[in-house]
Structure 1
C-alpha cells in the first residue's frame, strides 16, 4: 500500500467497549496483532483488558511518530487534541480517538478568505469534510443548530477583514462582541501568494456582472489592469492595503491558516506530499474522521470556472517588467508576513509553522451573562442562557441570574430575535396569554384608576388606594377591583361603575 494511503482517523464514543472494538477493527485492517496507546486516560486499564481478551497486545509507541493501529487516549477535549497533534508526522497510521466536546460535530467552523485566494476550493474541502453550510453566523450560536456547520463571520461572504471584525463590529455590537463564538470555535483562514492574487483580480474584477466596479477596469487591457490594481490611489487602494486587512487572522490561536499553494495539490501545480500533510493536519486539529488521500482525489475541480487562474506562479509568466517594477516598489512587509518572496519557491515559508501550530479554543463563554441586545415594543431584548428574553420596560431592574428556568419561563422568549418579537406581538394582540402573570405591570391611567396588568387580566386600582401589593392576594381578593380581559373591557367596567354610583 502506498505510504500516502495509510493515514486514517476515526472517532467513536468514549467508552472502553467502543474504543477497544474500534482499534481492534483497525488492527485487523492493517494485519497487526499489536496496537499502541498514546496519551493518558482513566479508561486505559479497562481498554487494555478488553484488547487482551480478544488476543491483541498493547505496546508502547517506539517513536514520536507511531505507526500502525494507534489508540488516542484522553479524558477531555483539550487532552485528546494535544495527543492527536503527536500524530502529525505519522506516515502509516490508523488512529482511533474518543469523541469529546472538541469533535467536529460538537463545534461550529468559521471560514475567512482573502478575496481571490481560493475561496471555492476551501469551501469544497469543508463540504467534503462533512460540514453543512450554515451561512452567516447566528446571534445565538450555543444552540444545536450551530454545531457541525460552517459559517461566515459577517454577512454572506467569507471575506471578513480583521479590522472590520475586531474594531468596527466591536463598536456596533452589544457587549463589545465579546460573546461572539469566534474564539470558542476553529476558523480556517485561506491565504495565497499576493502576486497570484493580484493576477486573479486582474482577470476577474473587470468582467461585467462580477463586481460593482467592473466598469472602472473594463476599458483597460491586462497590463493596465495589473498596474492599476498594484497601487490604485483613488478607489481600490494598493494590493498591500487589500492583503494587509487580512494578515492579522494568521496570528490568532484558534485560526488555522491554509495556503492555496498547499491545498491545490499537483493538479493545480502544487505538491502531493504537501497537500496530504496539510489535509492530515486539518483532520487532526478539527477532529474529523477521514483519510487525506481520499480527500485529495476529488478536491481540485478542473471544471471550475476559476480553473485557469487556480494554478501556482502565474504571475511569473504574466507580470510585465512595468508591473514587476511597480509591485516591487511597494513595501514588502505584507509579502513577508505571509511568508512569500525572496526565493523561487511558490510555497509560503510559514507553511510548516502553521501546520505544526496547535489549535487553541477559548473555554470562556457568556451564557450566564445577561446581554442587552436592543428594545422592541416596550420590551428590552436580553440574551441569556441560550435564549432571547423579552423584559417589559416597566419591570424595572430584574436580576435574571437569580432565577431558575421556571422563573425565566414567565418572560416571552425565543431562539432568535425574530421568534421573540413574534411572541411579544402575540402577547399584545392576545393579552390573556401574557407572560407576566405574576408581575403587576402598570399600563397607564383612566378616570382616576391605575390600569395594571396582572394574572391574565387588567385591573383598575383607584388612585386613592395608595400602594397595593397584588402579589399577596388570591383570586377572590382581586375580585374587589374592576377588571377586564382587555383594556377596553376594563375601561367600560370603570365607566359603568361610575354611572351606577351616580
Structure 2
C-alpha cells in the first residue's frame, strides 16, 4: 500500500473490505461459522504477515474477521486490544502485530483461540521496515524522521536507535516480540520456511510449514489441496510487498553495513534462530 495521504489509505481499506466480504460468502467459509477454528496470525511488522494472510484465504472454513491489523504495544493501554481478541468468532482469523503481554495470551486461551506467530531474519525485517517507512507510507511521522538522513547507513542506524514518540528502537521491539517464540501455546513458523520456491525457499519446507499450521488449527488438507494452497501463497499483489525474498540483506547491504548490523543486534539474531 503506497500511501501519499489519508485518502489513499481509505481507498485501500475500502477495496479490501469488499474483497473480504465476498470471500466470506463462499460455501466453505459459511460452513466455518459453525465448525471453523478461531485464529490469530501474529508477527513483528514487516515479517511477512500478508504471507500468512494469503495462506489463510486459501484454507477451507477460514475467513478474515474484517478488522484492521491489531497493533498491541506494551507501553500503551491494553484493555481495548483485549476486547478485540475476545471478539473473534469461529472460522475467523485476525492479523496482528502484538508485542508479548501475559494478559493477551490469557485472553487468547480463554477465548479458545489458536495463535500462530511468524518470525523472519531480523536483518531482512530491518531492510523491509526501512523500505516501508521511506517509500510506501509517507504519511507517518517516522517517514519525516528517517528521510531527514542522507545515506542508507544513517537511516538504518536511526531505526535501530529510534526516537521518542516517533519510532521505537528496533532492538527493543525485537525483544518485546521474542516471548511469543518461547511459549508452548504458540505455533512459531519461520517466514523462510513458508515462502516456498517462488520466494527463494524450499518446496518441502513450505509444505511442512503448512501442514504444521493445519495441524495446529485442526484443518485437514489432502495432498492435492496442500500443493494447490502452497502454489498460491506467494503473491506480489500484497499491499506491502517489497521483494519478499530470503536473505535480501546479504545482497543489499555493504560489507561495512553487514558487519555493523551483525554486531549491533547479534543477541536478537541468535535468539530468533538465525546466524
Q: What TM-score results when the alignment is normalised by the length of structure 1?
A: 0.40
Shift of 1:190: 1.0
What is the aligned-residue RMSD (CA, Å)?
A: 2.8
Residue equivalent to 1:380: none
- 1:180 lines up with 2:107 in the alignment: yes
Mapped to 2, the partners of 1:209 and 1:109 lie a distance apart of 31
Distance 1:180 1:142, change over 3 A: closer
Mapped to 2, the partners of 1:122 and 1:214 lie a distance apart of 26
Deviations, residues 116-174 of structure 1 (Å, cap 9, x unaligned):
0011111111221142222367849889x71111125xxxxx11100xx32xxx4xxxx
Contact 1:125-1:299 within 8 A present in 2 as well: yes
Distance 1:146 1:211, change over 3 A: same
Mapped to 2, the partners of 1:210 and 1:266 lie a distance apart of 34
Mapped to 1, the partners of 2:108 and 2:203 lie a distance apart of 34
Counting only pairs closer than 5 Å after superposition, residues 108-119 of structure 1 correspond to structure 2 as 108-119=38-49
Mapped to 2, the partners of 1:123 and 1:178 lie a distance apart of 21
Counting only pairs closer than 5 Å after superposition, residues 171-320 of structure 1 correspond to structure 2 as 180-182=107-109, 184-207=112-135, 208-209=137-138, 211-220=140-149, 221-232=151-162, 236-290=167-221, 291-320=225-254
Counting only pairs closer than 5 Å after superposition, residues 48-447 of structure 1 correspond to structure 2 as 105-130=35-60, 131-134=62-65, 135=67, 139=83, 146-152=89-95, 158-162=96-100, 165-166=101-102, 170=103, 180-182=107-109, 184-207=112-135, 208-209=137-138, 211-220=140-149, 221-232=151-162, 236-290=167-221, 291-330=225-264, 332-341=266-275
Which structure has the higher relative contact order (CA within 8 Å, separation 6+)?
A: 2
Shift of 1:279: 1.0
SS in 2 for 1:201: helix
Contact 2:86-2:107 within 8 A present in 1 as well: no
More strand by share: 1
More helix by share: 2
Mapped to 1, the partners of 2:264 and 2:36 lie a distance apart of 44
Shift of 1:253: 1.9
Distance 1:209 1:278, change over 3 A: same
For structure 2, the residue ranges without an aligned partner over 5 or more in a row are 1-33, 71-80
Contact 1:223-1:320 within 8 A present in 2 as well: no
Shift of 1:226: 1.8
Q: Which has the larger radius of gyration?
A: 1
Residue equivalent to 1:5: none
Shift of 1:270: 0.8
Deviations, residues 346-393 of structure 1 (Å, cap 9, x unaligned):
xxxxxxxxxxxxxxxxxxxxxxxxxxxxxxxxxxxxxxxxxxxxxxxx
Mapped to 2, the partners of 1:288 and 1:273 lie a distance apart of 19
For structure 1, the residue ranges without an aligned partner over 5 or more in a row are 1-103, 153-157, 171-176, 342-502
Mapped to 1, the partners of 2:139 and 2:272 lie a distance apart of 27
Shift of 1:305: 4.9
Deviations, residues 457-495 of structure 1 (Å, cap 9, x unaligned):
xxxxxxxxxxxxxxxxxxxxxxxxxxxxxxxxxxxxxxx
SS in 2 for 1:110: strand
Contact 1:108-1:149 within 8 A present in 2 as well: yes
Mapped to 2, the partners of 1:243 and 1:251 lie a distance apart of 13
Shift of 1:264: 0.8
SS in 2 for 1:151: strand
Shift of 1:196: 0.2
